[in-house]
Structure 1
Amino acid sequence: MIKAMEPRYQPPNRQKLSEQLIPALFENEKAKLFQELQSTQAVSLTTDAWTSRSAESYLTITCHFVNKDWEMCFRILQTEKFHGSHTGERVGYELKTCMTSWGIQNKVNVMTVDNASNMTVALEVAGAQKLGCLAHTLNLASNKAMSIQSLQRVLAKVRSIVTYFHKSNIATEMLKEKQLALQLPQHKLINDCKTRWNSTYQMIQRFLTQRPAVLAALLDERIKRSKTISGMTAQEVQICEDFVSVMEVMLTATLVLCEEKTPTSGLILPLLRKLLHHFERKEGDSDFILTLKNAVGQNLATRYTDNNVRMFLEESSALDPRTKGKPCIQAEPWERLEDKLSLMDFNVNSVKTETDARPVTPVDIPQINHSPLPALPNIPAHLESGNSTDDDLDDEISKPNEQKVARTALESLFGEDEVLVTGEEFITPAELARKEVESYKGHKPASMKENPLKWWKENEVYFPKLASLARTYFCVQATPVASERVFSTTGDIVSATRACLSPERVNELVFWKKNMKF
């Protein structure tokens, strides 16, 4: 087709693509990302390791930041081949080298990683604060429930039934027939992965939904039931139902944390508090439910107890308009935020209150949803009377709108201690910070379905310093799920037919695939 359309055109060959075009695209996108990172206020990193089909180990480092338009941005920084064992010192050195090469070593304060011990050492070497992945934390707590013996016996029976239907074509056809007869959804049974607790939850949930069809298929004389499959008692079925009922909140929390476009670090403490309340003992709980709640609740109670991590999460929740009014936010986080604001350089001309920015309408006059018109200029009396000349108009136009207030020697000396609000009143940075925090606290909280980034974009004019501070907190995510999702991309790139790609080419292709905007 190309030859018919333009015989003179020579498409690039494999060598030109590999040695010229792809490296050029990589360098171009890398330069764009470097400029983007230099203009952002704060950056948060996540990292994870993976192994290619050729048994080569790679370390992928990703970053999150909030741009000037209040959009959550996700970028790949590098995918480098990792030599040797994954010790904390070696991983920390790679992180520090990456931050230095991108010029963000002073913009990274917190990193979200899994709860492995080597990552604690790695972040100490890199000079960043560690935030444990909440999804990994929930997975570890849920695995405590899987260790309950009565649940293990039930899971073994469910797995044997699911495996039988996956391996037998006749049993699968019979299951579809029974589903149609019983008017059940024609869904396949789900087999679980022992490293992901939510897959076990989904396996049991699907089994309970399809249990009538499963029993009817197993009792049909046209199939030969395996001797390893045994029936389930009413008590075992009740255990499955109790497990699904109690653990549903854990699955919901896990799904909430997989969001990439909205900040999630402010949700950690409210979610943790809700989960701890959910796993408290209640009257009427069965023995199995009590054992389940005790196993999961005790594990969750030991999480995020580090003082520095706790303070960061409290401040992040306070800056999230969805969670600022939650009971987990006490007085101390607000005091710390006031202290941080008082140390920032205030520009009083950019500070507006809601009363200043919005027109005040009398109560007895119905409010009309129109944008307020700009205020008319004050007209001098001699101009308003009509007795004016062109010279008078020229004089009025030449006058400045506002007279500059000359700074005195005392103001020059104490300028760092006092902020000029009007020509007659002085206010300290601490008092200005307190007023902004109090105004923000009194503002109506955002709904849980609202995007906090959009909220701050609309309200930045009222809380300018809190908005600046929010950017540094919102770039931190509760989970490094973005890094793990890169694995699917790398699986497509380093496929079975391309397993011999060089590490340099893997880095370029992954970087270009995930960062380039088409």
Structure 2
Amino acid sequence: MNEIRYLEAYSATTDLWSSRTTEPYISLTIHFIDDDWKLRSRCLQTAFFPEDHTGAIIALGLKDALSAWGLDEAHLVCMTTDSGANMVRALEINKWTRLACFGHRLHNAIGMCKKVVSTFSYSWKKKNALTSAQRELNLPPHKLITESPTRWGSRDQKSRHLLPTWQDIDVLEAITKALKPLQDFTDALSGEEYVSVSYVKPVLHLLNTNILKPEEDKAGLCEDIKKRVLDYLNEKYKDPTDELLNMATWTHGSRPPTCHLKSWRK
């Protein structure tokens, strides 16, 4: 591919994943501006990766991949990865600038809510402690529910206890209200036809000042979820990439795609 062999600057994205048969693979995609000033992305390879997924081995594998495609790693501006310790270590070893995937961090922030639900759903001790705490604080005896493969419409008498109660519905409504607006950000920051890194800072600002901003006159599960998601994201972006994000934001100097602005203002 001659179009990538002599690039003066490019970024990359990499990820480790498993197939349905649990076989491990590593993918590598590069992003660059072509001679017509259009953003291009090229998935260079998805390679079988049976070796131990240590930082050192991943670091070597990524170096070999860039070399095999004739790419000079000195021209690599940054590489986007998830927050796995082995990926973080791999880029540290190669001394490459790493940019954490915002979508992955957002997913992790939302996932914390699911972990809380699962903790109280599968532990009788914790479930009993929650009931006792609610009783002592004169709170409604709400129960947290988790996903189940059982069909809600089943008439099996043994499954009727799985039908949601009004307390369960209240919990689901609170979670939906808090997390549904975040879907728009996931879509917008997954675009391939524009540079999404320049939107990370504005999105964080919008989440803190509007979308997830706690409402002073309200309290409850919905507000707790918003606070937990914000605390997680704000903490994760207190790292060295902050300078890179600032530079990308001010250099690009534009707003997120207009197709998403209307829903973000709600």
- Is 1:163 the counterpart of 2:150? The answer is yes
TM-score, length of structure 1 as denominator length: 0.42
2:117·2:145 contact (CA, 8 Å) conserved in 1? no
Equivalent in the alignment of 1:449: 258
2:40 is aligned, of 49, 53, 73, to 73
Take 2:12 and 2:198, find their aligned partners in 1: how far apart are those partners?
17
- Is 1:40 the counterpart of 2:7? The answer is yes
Q: Report SS of the residue matched to 2:42.
A: strand
Equivalent in the alignment of 1:265: 197
**Runs of at least 4 residues of structure 1 off by over 6 A?**
none
2:89 is aligned, of 104, 111, 121, to 121
Q: Report the number of matched residues.
A: 234
Aligned CA distance change for structure 1 residues 55 and 282 (closer, same or farther; 3 Å): closer
Take 2:38 and 2:144, find their aligned partners in 1: how far apart are those partners?
46
Equivalent in the alignment of 2:67: 100
Equivalent in the alignment of 1:229: 160
Q: CA deviation at 1:134?
A: 0.6
Gaps of 5+ in 2: 122-142, 260-266
1:93·1:125 contact (CA, 8 Å) conserved in 2? no
Equivalent in the alignment of 1:63: 30
1:43·1:104 contact (CA, 8 Å) conserved in 2? no
Take 1:292 and 1:71, find their aligned partners in 2: how far apart are those partners?
39
2:222 is aligned, of 289, 292, 296, to 289
TM-score, length of structure 2 as denominator length: 0.78
Equivalent in the alignment of 2:247: 315
Q: Report SS of the residue matched to 1:112.
A: strand
**Mean Cα displacement is larger for which, 258-267 or 287-296?**
287-296
Cα deviation per residue 1:304-357 (whole Å; 9 max; x = unaligned)? 2113x111111111122324xxxxxxxxxxxxxxxxxxxxxxxxxxxxxxxxxx
- Is 1:89 the counterpart of 2:56? The answer is yes
1:88·1:118 contact (CA, 8 Å) conserved in 2? yes
Cα deviation per residue 1:125-161 (whole Å; 9 max; x = unaligned)? 22311111111100111112223449964433xx44x
Q: Highest CA radius of gyration, 1 or 2?
A: 1
**Mean Cα displacement is larger for which, 102-111 or 135-144?**
102-111
Q: CA deviation at 1:59?
A: 2.0
2:102 is aligned, of 134, 137, 143, to 134
1:37·1:104 contact (CA, 8 Å) conserved in 2? no
Q: CA deviation at 1:39?
A: 4.1
Take 1:51 and 1:283, find their aligned partners in 2: how far apart are those partners?
44
Take 1:111 and 1:82, find their aligned partners in 2: how far apart are those partners?
19
Q: Could you say which structure has the greater relative contact order, defined with CA pairs below 8 angstroms and 6 or more residues apart?
A: 1
Q: Which has the higher strand share?
A: 2
Aligned CA distance change for structure 1 residues 87 and 238 (closer, same or farther; 3 Å): same
Q: Percent identity?
A: 25
Take 1:258 and 1:240, find their aligned partners in 2: how far apart are those partners?
26
Take 2:237 and 2:37, find their aligned partners in 1: how far apart are those partners?
28
Match runs of 1:489-504 below 5 Å: none
